[in-house]
Homo-oligomer: A and B are copies of this chain.
């Protein structure tokens, strides 16, 4: 059963108290270990959609006990937090399961509500360890209104602190409007009004050219950044904050290329054009990549993240540690203590101000 929705705000108080201390905040984690009932709900939706692509259905229920949630996390994300010495994960539904290309706007809405409700329960059970970030009920060709509604429900009614925005709800066909299209504007208006950031994050690819975590994620990150570079989105939304995950895709590695392209186009320098609004996470799974990121992107624009448990789950034989134990790379990087504190903690508090809402 779904429980605790009415008391969800309570989860923010201990979080806010905790946040006064030195913390390591991981801005990018997905609930990839949810109990199987969640997947069964989705499979039932897919089965109904196979019979009738216009299937609507109802929200229904996903019956998961609190102990099942605890079990799904204790040996996984919580254990890894303890082992790695990280404190708080901004936690959202499994990105590859958002599957906005599956079904229609109605099934996307019910699925999304269930996923977000479950994230709220996780954060109620472990308010010191997780803060909630929502997925949105996007659907190819659908208006953005239902996503605005779900964002408001999550932030206003359930204390969510951010959202994941899929720039390609088609799942790799890239046939909807780019991010600067005005059809997205109601969502940006709501993000600004609610003072929550969005992470630009695609879901699984259904185009056989793209491997979901190997090429679609990274390509989408780069694509989104270039759409921002060539648009005036932040002139229209000066307070909008967007996070490009996976270390910004190819962007920091090609920072000279992007600086040069902007210059050739007569655009302002990238720091002026974008770095008041665009942030990169540290989901880069080796030292040389992190070093590149930290050399070119100002520390104010980098947020610690691991995406654990996510795309890469193994141990790197070259280091003896998990590839996605990104704290080690930040610890080993040539950073001042002040910059390391920004990356581990204070940037996340600034970009996600609702983390501290109850303490304000």
Chain A residues in contact with chain B, CB under 8 A?
167-168, 172-175, 178, 207-211, 213-215, 218-219, 222-223, 225-227, 229-230, 246-247, 249-250, 252-261, 263-264, 284-286, 288-289, 291-293, 295-296, 311-314, 316, 323-324
Contacts and interface: CB of A to CB of B under 8 A. Distances in A.
Q: How many copies does the complex hold?
A: 2
**Majority DSSP secondary structure for residues of A touching B:** helix
Contacts of A178: 208-209
Most chain B CB atoms below 10 A, which of A211, A215, A259, A291: A215
A287 to B, nearest CB: 8
Given A253-B293, A292-B292, 9 more contacts: A178-B209, A209-B223, A214-B229, A252-B289, A256-B289, A256-B323, A257-B312, A259-B316, A260-B323
A260 B210 CA distance: 17
A313 to B, nearest CB: 6
12 contacts: A167-B209, A168-B209, A178-B208, A213-B257, A214-B257, A214-B258, A254-B284, A256-B323, A257-B284, A257-B312, A264-B314, A291-B292
Contacts of A175: 173, 207
A252 B255 CA distance: 14
Contacts of A264: 312-314
Given A252-B253, A257-B214, A296 B288 contact: yes
A250 B223 CA distance: 12
A256 B227 contact: no
A19 to B, nearest CB: 30
Contact of A255 (B230, B260, B288, B293): B288
Nearest to A211: B226
A261 B213 contact: yes
Nearest to A317: B263
Nearest to A263: B314
A219 B215 contact: yes
A285 B312 contact: no
Nearest to A168: B209
Contacts of A254: 218, 246-247, 284-285, 289
A213 B250 CA distance: 13
Contact of A247 (B226, B246, B253): B253
Contacts of A286: 255-257, 259, 296
Most chain B CB atoms below 10 A, which of A167, A225, A254, A313: A254
A258 to B, nearest CB: 7
A228 to B, nearest CB: 11
A208 B146 CA distance: 25
